[in-house]
Amino acid sequence: MDAVKHIGLSEASLGPEEEEAVLAVLRSGWLTQGEKVATFERAFARTHAMEHAVAVNSATAGLHLSLAALGIGPGEDVLVPAVTFVATANAVFYTGAKALPVDAAAADNPHMSMEHAASLLTDRTRAVILMHYGGYAMDMEAWSAFCARHGLLLLEDAAHAPGLKGVGRQSSAAVYSFFGNKNMTTAEGGMITTRDGALAERLRRLRGHAMSAPTLTRARGHAFSYDIEELGWNYRLDELRAAVGLAQLQKLDAFNARRAALARLYRRLMAEALPEAAAPFSGEHASVNHLFTVVLPEGTARPDVMRAMRERGVQTSIHYPPWYRFTWHSDQVGTVSLPHADAYCARTLTLPLHPQMTDDDVAYVVQSLSSSLR
């Protein structure tokens, strides 16, 4: 084994452009939501070929806001992936509706099973949230047809998918995350995209306590007070994060291209050294490669593998522990049979993937995994 390296799971790619952008905002004297946020929204919408983009302070807030703006509430069910971060389900519960976990398509495919989704439909079912797991595109044509056939709203959890073509074009709204480990970051933050102008206007109003006149408008003397006609939330993004987001957006294509190259190398080296540890999806699947995950062989003691990898300086993770088995969530959804999701969550392992990695780093990770499994 070579000398131990130190390879983090994910690292933000920040440079002088982000530093200068933040300094410019600090020097401007206006830090809360303002023109920089609006500029970021327009640029993000343009990059993703969408009519509207609404910046928020997290993807979780964006999902909740979208559901609330669309009228989801108590007494209704929303179908969500069993294999996702807990925020996807939490956003549904925030509205008073119930999140129902949909099984994975297979033990080595974390995407939602349409067959299982169909079996869960009742007169309470109001919407479906898809999640582009790891940055790999869901079949939007098929799911759009499914929702149209059953009279359901369709939303996309695109937290892993900035830059993925086609996202948002066939749903009511798509929600992105700019958390520090994502393909582009603002430290904390998120974005909602939609083609519906009325929905976009409602989202903008609700993210700022539903005030009829936002702070910047009042500061400029265009309004002396405001009214509130419905319940809103404080889900605004600030100018500092928007400035970082604009700088990151300029680099997104390059970031995603490097991720794609690293993922291709992973697949080639894994096929040669570890064919027994399968990588979900194929190298041809449309993706922005947020995650590179493998499904460990049955019977593998995953904690031992992760410990051995850590001793070799390689950080690993699990995406995700099954949210429907957490204590609080289990109380909400009750006893559920999700064999494919359970199998995937029990055997998946996430390997490092970020633009700063070198080809040698990938080779080292694969070598370390091979040694840890032996």
Among 16-30, 220-234, 249-263, 300-314, which stretch is predicted with the lowest mean pLDDT? 220-234
pLDDT by residue (tens digit) across 98-151? 999 999 999 999 999 999 999 999 999 999 999 999 999 999 999 999 999 999
For residue 190, what are the β-bridge partners? 56, 177
Closest CA to 157 of 110, 108, 116: 110
Examine the residue annotation and report whether 5 is marked as an active-site residue of this protein: no
Which structure tokens are listed for 126? 């109001």
- Residue 1's pLDDT is 47
Which residue ranges does the chain devote to CATH 3.90.1150.10? 252-373
Whether the upstream peptide bond of residue 320 has omega within 30° of 0, thus cis, is yes
Domain 16-248 annotated CATH 3.40.640.10: yes
Q: Is the pLDDT of residue 320 over 60?
A: yes
- CATH architecture of the domain covering 252-373: Alpha-Beta Complex (3.90)
Which structure tokens are listed for 108? 């080595």
Q: What average pLDDT does the structure give for the chain?
A: 96
Q: Of 36, 165, 182, 251, which residue is the catalytic one?
A: 182
**Neighbour tally for 370: CB within 10 Å:** 15
**Neighbour tally for 115: CB within 10 Å:** 10
pLDDT by residue (tens digit) across 155-208? 999 999 999 999 999 999 999 999 999 999 999 999 999 999 999 999 999 999
Q: Average of pLDDT values for 341-349?
A: 98
For the chain, give the number of residues.
Answer: 374
- d(Cα 314, Cα 369) in Å, to the nearest integer? 9
Q: Is the pLDDT of residue 94 over 90?
A: yes
Which residue ranges does the chain devote to CATH 3.40.640.10? 16-248
Which structure tokens are listed for 289? 């490669």
pLDDT by residue (tens digit) across 216-264? 555 565 667 788 989 999 999 999 999 999 999 999 999 999 999 999 9
DSSP letter string, 207-276: TBTTBSS-HHHHHTTS-S---B-S---B-PPPHHHHHHHHHHHHHHHHHHHHHHHHHHHHHHHHHHH-TT
- d(Cα 76, Cα 363) in Å, to the nearest integer? 48
Which structure tokens are listed for 5? 């390296």
Q: Is the pLDDT of residue 342 over 80?
A: yes
- Residue 2's pLDDT is 54
Answer whether 253's CB lies under 8 Å from 244's CB: no
Locate tokens 């440079």: which residue? 15
Q: Average of pLDDT values for 318-340?
A: 98
- Residue 93's pLDDT is 98
Q: Is the pLDDT of residue 313 over 80?
A: yes
Q: How far is CA 34 from the centre of its chain?
A: 25
Which structure tokens are listed for 23? 């300094």
Q: Is the pLDDT of residue 308 over 70?
A: yes
